Amino acid sequence: MSMLATEAARPQVSVVLPCLNEAGSVALVVREALEAIGAAGYTGEVVIGDNGSTDGSQAIAEAAGARVVHQPIRGYGAALAAGINAARGVIVVMADADNTYPFEFLGRLVAPVLADEVDMMIGARWSGATAHTMPFLHRFVGTPVLTWLVRRAGGPAGLTDSQSGFRAFRRDRLLDLHLRSTGMDYASEMFIVAGRQDWRIREIPAGYRERIGESKLDTLADGWRHLKTIVLLAPDLLATYPGAAAFLAGVLMLGFSFLNRGAFAIGSLGWLGSLLGPVFIIIGVQAVLAGVVIGVASPLRRHSRTERFLTDEEVLRSAAIGGLWLVGVALVLDLTLFLSWALRLGAPFVGLPLAGLAQAMLLIGLTLIWYGVIASILLAGSRRWGAGDAPSTADAVMPRRSADAVLPVPIDAWDSTASPAAGS
């Protein structure tokens, strides 16, 4: 049977709703979604990714016409992944079971994707964002900041609402992304990974309604999860580049101190440069190294330009040897300053910045030594015991193209089992 014939035999649209204790709204949402599918002229279904509801949401949803998939792994992303994996439609429309997304826009989301004009359509919430529908911090701080970070990390350039959960896409294409997040950060990961694969993504204003029932969002915890995922996917954005900038700033500050001859008054620019310059240099080097390690070791990152810095024995050996040289030079500088004092020769006019430089070199050298030694030990262990033979954690959250399977219990090793529950 051809692919076109296979698609023709399937529902055109599957509306997937994550659900955790949404008894007050789920029936209304299911019926509205089914009516919207029919009104737009499509065949379809509604799939509920239930996250362990205890208020009877499952039975209510089934009575309203939905198919319920049970997901024991807690989290918005896990519940959505279970529903998407079980969906039979060619196009998946994801939304929420709390009545926040108006399904009158379903046709406008589905049509461009079905016609292969775009890969994903987004229903942006801003036209309906009010004090009653979206908390102040989410509207003016959280969502704008996360959206900017998602764009910078590889998401679509024109994206304005990275946290909208009203999206339409082809099911098989989304499965090919192998998304791994299980919490609210699933929304950010989807955009970043899709953007890096050159998906054509378009937004339309779709509004946002006041939710029915209790919100499952935890502003600080969910924000932290988003931030972790963005760092894991794009360590350059929040580690490597800021670290390089801090290193350069430290060098300039310390250089100014060397040029500013004479004694430094406490609190003066020369004094600050002598003390803060080395601190910025040290922080910068450590941030760059952290970016390298995250870029290679991240369970979310597929490829890394810096992989050789953790997998090349010659590079690691050079790092350790370079660290030893820095430590040696730093100790010589410290000894020179000590002898100048002990022999009453008088401290050099650049004594304070020289001392700052020595301490910076000492700490950076020790950092490079530990980096080279520990990375070499880990590399040797992975080669000796075959750590690379472990199965991918991607399939634990989003199995590869399984027709109707429900997600298994295993979860990403990096992710907490206490991730936020489904819904918003």
pLDDT tens for each residue of 158-194: 899 999 999 999 999 999 999 988 999 999 999 999 9
Average pLDDT for the chain: 82
pTM: 0.73
- Joined together, the tokens standing for residue 71 give 């997901």
* pLDDT at residue 10 tops 50: yes
Question: Which is nearest to 16 in space by CA: 398, 409, 415?
Answer: 398
Task: Tell me the average pLDDT across 4-15.
Answer: 73
Q: Per mean pLDDT, which of 84-93, 123-132, 176-185, 311-320 is the most reliable?
A: 84-93
Which region, left, alpha or beta, applies to residue 124 given φ > 0 means left and ψ of -120 to 50 means alpha? beta
β-strand pairing of 91-94 with 167-170: antiparallel
- Output the DSSP codes for 61-92: HHHTT-EEEE--S-SHHHHHHHHHHH---SEE
The domain limits of the chain are: 3-233, 235-385
Contact 243, 311 (CB under 8 A): no
* pLDDT at residue 50 tops 50: yes
Instruction: Please state, in angstroms and rounded to a whole number, the distance separating the CA atoms of residues 203 and 92.
Output: 16
Instruction: Please state, in angstroms and rounded to a whole number, the distance separating the CA atoms of residues 156 and 49.
Output: 27
As a whole number of angstroms, the longest Cα–Cα distance in the chain is: 93
- Output the DSSP codes for 316-378: HHHHHHHHHHHHHHHHHHHHHHHHHHHTT----TTHHHHHHHHHHHHHHHHHHHHHHHHHHHH
pLDDT, greater one: 305 or 229? 229
Task: Tell me the average pLDDT across 83-95.
Answer: 96
Give the type of residue at 297. Answer: A
- Joined together, the tokens standing for residue 332 give 């010589």
Please tell me the least confidently modeled range out of 70-74, 100-104, 330-334, 350-354: 350-354
Tell which CATH architecture fits domain 3-233.
Alpha-Beta Complex (3.90)
* pLDDT at residue 400 tops 50: no
Looking at residue 338, its pLDDT comes to 84
Cβ neighbours, 10 Å, residue 308: 13
335-374 pLDDT, tens digit per residue, is: 888 888 777 765 555 677 888 888 899 999 988 898 888 7
